[in-house]
């Protein structure tokens, strides 16, 4: 029997859900498990990328005319592209021909109603979430994000049999980050010479352009900027042109060494999404712009403990705000060091279980 992942990426959803699932899938494959993906054929999907990583990806057809939204619909129901009933039916057609010991679901548009419909075709159900806004019928729940009250968030949403893996100690970090962790120390980040800019896989609100316009205003300081985008960013070509017209910018698309670029930077400008914990793990001082509702709680919590500096909600932020925040880091280097120290504490030095611990929990329940 194999292990399946039901997860989507799109211009609207972004790429973070697929990327963290791939981290888990790689570890399962390393333990000789047969793994495949089930994804909806949405615009901006990562099926080709998944297959380049060596995993079979079954694409479900996209048919918006079957999407029904009513008072019982989830807040992210439209992310499925079809009704949840249709999505469960499509998924079951695959599962019934290839039953799995574990189905991993990472999708805000899916809840316990969907889970119950696929239970007959699977052994166990693993849910990755960070919203805590709907009931879940699963055997393991993973929410790797930092919150001030992690246990209370899911107490009324999962059954008593569910094993809850909560907090950054369970973060699904790729091995490249673990390796980079050994290279750089906090006390080396005492000035701003290199800046890392990455606003998520699709950057739907175009924060990358805003960041570059803000950096244009920094005067009399020599620094280099690594600007990272993915193929899921519909403005990738435009951002590349912007970088080409700025001598301080280096443009990177679909990079394979993002952890190295992070580790070589003295500070970052980024969104409050999946890369937040990666930046924290490497102790990278970050200016963070919240671009989605699900980023607000954890970004504000990390800001409160001093592990990053939250500039604010994207629609309230201008290039001038980014300029002022960068300037503050440049002329107050002690803030870099303090954020670096606090960021390093988020995942912990001695109690980080990571993807190895998550997989061990899964396989221990077989």
Per-residue tokens: 200: 């998520």
- In the numeric block, the tokens 């300037």 are attached to 327
In the sheet that 163-166 helps form, which strands lie side by side, from edge to edge? 56-60, 35-40, 2-7, 100-106, 122-128, 140-143, 163-166
With a CB cutoff of 8 Å and minimum separation 6, the contacts of 160 are none
- pLDDT per residue of the chain (366 residues) written in tens, 0 to 9: 799 999 999 988 989 999 999 999 999 999 999 999 999 999 999 999 999 999 999 999 987 555 666 657 888 989 999 999 999 999 999 999 888 999 999 999 999 999 999 999 999 999 999 999 999 999 999 999 999 888 889 999 999 999 999 999 999 999 999 999 877 655 567 789 999 999 998 899 999 999 999 999 998 889 999 999 998 899 999 999 999 999 999 999 999 999 999 999 999 999 998 899 999 999 999 999 999 988 999 999 999 999 999 999 999 999 999 999 999 999 999 999 999 999 999 997 667 889 999 999 999 876
Can you say whether residue 190 is alpha, beta or left, with left for phi > 0 and alpha for psi between -120 and 50 degrees?
alpha
Per-residue tokens: 133: 């806004």
Instruction: Answer whether 309's CB lies under 8 Å from 303's CB.
Output: yes
Q: Which domains can be identified in the chain, with CATH numbers?
A: 2-166 (3.40.50.11190), 176-347 (3.40.50.2000)
For residue range 160-178, what is the model confidence (pLDDT) as tens digits? 999 999 999 999 999 999 9
User: HSE-up of 68 (CA within 13 Å, CB side)?
Assistant: 9
Q: Please, is 88 exposed, middle or buried when counting C-beta atoms within 10 Å of its C-beta (0-12, 13-18, 19+)? A: buried
For residue range 310-324, what is the model confidence (pLDDT) as tens digits? 999 999 999 999 999
Q: Which of 335, 289, 338 is nearest to 311 (CA)?
A: 289
pLDDT of residue 350: 66
């Amino acid at each position: 029997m194999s292990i399946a992942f039901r997860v989507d990426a799109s211009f609207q959803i972004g790429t973070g859900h697929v990327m963290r699932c791939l981290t888990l899938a790689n570890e399962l494959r390393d333990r000789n498990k047969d793994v495949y993906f089930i994804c909806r054929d949405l615009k901006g999907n990562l099926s080709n990328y998944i297959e380049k990583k060596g995993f079979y990806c079954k694409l479900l057809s996209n048919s918006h005319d079957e999407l029904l939204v009513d008072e019982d619909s989830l807040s992210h129901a439209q992310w499925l592209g079809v009704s949840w009933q249709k999505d469960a039916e499509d998924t079951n057609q695959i599962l019934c021909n290839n039953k799995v010991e574990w189905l991993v679901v990472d999708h805000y548009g899916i809840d316990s109603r969907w889970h119950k419909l696929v239970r007959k075709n699977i052994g166990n159900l693993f849910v990755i979430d960070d919203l805590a806004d709907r009931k879940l019928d699963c055997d393991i729940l993973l929410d790797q994000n930092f919150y001030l009250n992690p246990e209370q968030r899911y107490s009324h949403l999962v059954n008593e049999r569910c094993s809850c893996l909560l907090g950054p100690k369970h973060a699904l970090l790729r091995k490249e980050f673990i390796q980079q962790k050994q290279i750089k120390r906090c006390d080396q980040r005492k000035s701003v010479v290199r800046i890392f800019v990455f606003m998520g896989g699709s950057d739907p609100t175009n924060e990358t352009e805003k960041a570059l316009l803000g950096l244009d205003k920094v005067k009399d300081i020599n620094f280099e900027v690594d600007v990272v985008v993915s193929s899921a960013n519909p403005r990738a070509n435009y951002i590349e042109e912007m970088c080409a017209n700025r001598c301080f910018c280096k443009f990177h698309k679909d990079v394979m060494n993002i952890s190295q670029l992070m580790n070589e930077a003295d500070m970052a400008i980024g969104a409050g999404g999946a890369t937040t914990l990666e930046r924290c793990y490497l102790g990278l001082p970050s200016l963070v712009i919240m671009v989605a509702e699900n980023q607000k709680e954890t970004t504000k919590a990390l800001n409160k403990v001093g592990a990053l500096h939250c500039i604010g909600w994207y629609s309230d932020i201008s290039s001038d705000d980014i300029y002022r925040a960068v300037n503050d880091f440049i002329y107050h280097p002690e803030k870099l060091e303090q954020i670096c120290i606090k960021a390093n504490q988020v995942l912990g030095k001695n109690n980080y279980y990571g993807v190895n611990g998550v997989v061990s929990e899964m396989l221990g329940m077989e």
